[in-house]
Structure 1
Amino acid sequence: MVMILVYVDDLLITGDNTDMINAAKGTLHKQFKLKDLVELKYFLGIEVLRSASGVILIQRKYVLELISEIGLAGAKPATTPLKTNAKLTSVEVDETVGVKGDGILSDTTSYQRLVGKIMYATITRPDISYAVQTLNQFMQQPKKSHLEAANRVIRYLKETVGQCIWLKAQPTAELVCWCDSNWAACQNTRRFVTDYMVQFGSSLISWKSKKKHTISRSSAEAEYRIMALALAEVTWLEGLFSELRVSITKPIVIFSDSK
């Protein structure tokens, strides 16, 4: 089998047979002008490090360039992506409750670009996913407090620049999902925030943190909704593994903290 991953004009070619991989390269060379970089080491800002124990995916270079670009190279690192019990509110909420806002940013595009760049780091940094989905809620009218929170995420990345995704080279057929919901977590709308992560063996392969568009009447309802969302992701992954001819042990277990 040969698999080709295409992202715009960048290609990744892999498979379980060297002759078939070379034949695929030859076919592509006849149709397109390609540059063969041989073994994968760097792809779309992601560094790929290999060893006999597995593969490391890390965005160290991307994060360091981001820190330098924002001008926080000399800033004090942060130990968490967001402050404990951080309550970021929108302008509309401030006006409703009669609280004087901390000022809308004059240049909203700079905030939007910054959050977009932080969002790209979540490819290998699931630990900032919750912080990123929180910052994403204030794209239209960001305030100074939102920019400070975004800069804190950058300072956290500076503290943990060596964090990575570790894909172990060990035989496995187990797909496991962990999910949780934070009922009425959003300070602005009282909507709940969902989080899930999926492991293939002991390797993390999928994760997500998202605020839902609906309001749940109870924490039990919120738990059922996140389990349904996690199940949809697991179902898609099971289909993908089937196409890749990778057998998965059934049934697939989804863990939740709902009693």
Structure 2
Amino acid sequence: MKDLGELKYFLGIEFVRSNSGVAMHQRKYALQLISEIGLSGAKTAGTHIDNMKLTSRHYDEQTGQNQEEPLTDQVTYQKLIRKLLYLNMTRPDISFSVQTLNQFLHQPKKSHMDAALGVVKYIKRQPGQGISLSSNCSSEITAFCDADWDACPLIRKYWIFD
């Protein structure tokens, strides 16, 4: 066994230690993703997905609405979503958008690819954003939930609040 010293970079995640805790980010990975996609010169986006109504092709066929053609290159979309899922480890702010786009992997449309590129433009705004783990240990856990407690007895059963 060999001591390699303090952890600085592991599996694309950079770790920065300070007196206040540990910060984790994937800045290098995010910049590489932006460059690979070809959005280095593009403007940044302020939000992940701009009020887009994303539907599956099956839904479109059933309702007869929005008959948008599927992407000709589905592999590019699938690779992009896979990379965004990996980036999601240190960027919880994109988790909803990426999980929503992940639902359309089998038959993506142009609107799905546009939304995925919008997420990349949002990441470009702050590529070094990540997670900060505080060294100030506190035994108190704060959680928020918007569930209707009276309508959900199972949630009440498993969550105990003082």
Taking structure 1 as the reference length, the TM-score comes to 0.57
What secondary structure does 2:128 align onto?
Answer: coil
In structure 1, how many angstroms separate the alpha carbons of the residues matched to 2:154 and 2:119? 26
Q: Is the 8 A contact 1:56 1:166 kept in 2?
A: yes
Corresponding pairs, count: 160
In structure 2, how many angstroms separate the alpha carbons of the residues matched to 1:107 and 1:56? 37
Choose between structure 1 and 2: higher strand proportion: 1
Give the aligned partner of residue 157 of structure 1: 123
Give the aligned partner of residue 152 of structure 2: 224
Give the aligned partner of residue 46 of structure 2: 79
In structure 2, how many angstroms separate the alpha carbons of the residues matched to 1:62 and 1:252? 39
Provide Cα deviations, 1:87-142, integer angstroms capped at 9, x if missing partner.
Answer: 10111111122124221011212111110100111111110010011101101100
- Cα 1:168–1:39, aligned 2, differ >3 Å: closer, same or farther? same
Give the aligned partner of residue 131 of structure 1: 97
Give the aligned partner of residue 59 of structure 1: 26
Kindly state the Cα deviation for residue 143 of structure 1 after the two structures are TM-superposed: 0.2
User: Match for 2:138 among 172, 180, 184?
Assistant: 172
What secondary structure does 2:132 align onto?
Answer: strand
In structure 2, how many angstroms separate the alpha carbons of the residues matched to 1:117 and 1:225? 38
CA RMSD of aligned residues (A): 2.3
Which structure 2 residue ranges, 5 or more long, are not aligned? none
Summarize the alignment of residues 174-193 of structure 1 with structure 2, pairs less than 5 Å apart. Answer: 174-180=140-146
In structure 2, how many angstroms separate the alpha carbons of the residues matched to 1:180 and 1:38? 44
In structure 2, how many angstroms separate the alpha carbons of the residues matched to 1:111 and 1:50? 35
Provide Cα deviations, 1:193-219, integer angstroms capped at 9, x if missing partner.
Answer: xxxxxxxxxxxxxxxxxxxxxxxxxxx
In structure 2, how many angstroms separate the alpha carbons of the residues matched to 1:225 and 1:138? 32
Summarize the alignment of residues 65-144 of structure 1 with structure 2, pairs less than 5 Å apart. Answer: 65-83=32-50, 85-144=51-110
Q: Amino acid of the residue matched to residue 54 of structure 2?
A: L
Larger relative CO (CA 8 A, sep 6+): 1 or 2? 2
In structure 1, how many angstroms separate the alpha carbons of the residues matched to 2:66 and 2:43? 29
Matched, 1:48 2:8: no
Summarize the alignment of residues 10-21 of structure 1 with structure 2, pairs less than 5 Å apart. Answer: none
Q: Amino acid of the residue matched to residue 129 of structure 1?
A: S
In structure 2, how many angstroms separate the alpha carbons of the residues matched to 1:76 and 1:36? 44
In structure 1, how many angstroms separate the alpha carbons of the residues matched to 2:137 and 2:68? 53
Give the aligned partner of residue 193 of structure 1: none
Q: Amino acid of the residue matched to residue 99 of structure 1?
A: Q
Q: Is the 8 A contact 1:111 1:147 kept in 2?
A: yes
Matched, 1:146 2:146: no
Which structure 1 residue ranges, 5 or more long, are not aligned? 1-28, 30-34, 182-219, 232-250, 254-259
Q: Amino acid of the residue matched to residue 179 of structure 1?
A: C
Q: Is the 8 A contact 1:75 1:155 kept in 2?
A: yes
Taking structure 2 as the reference length, the TM-score comes to 0.88
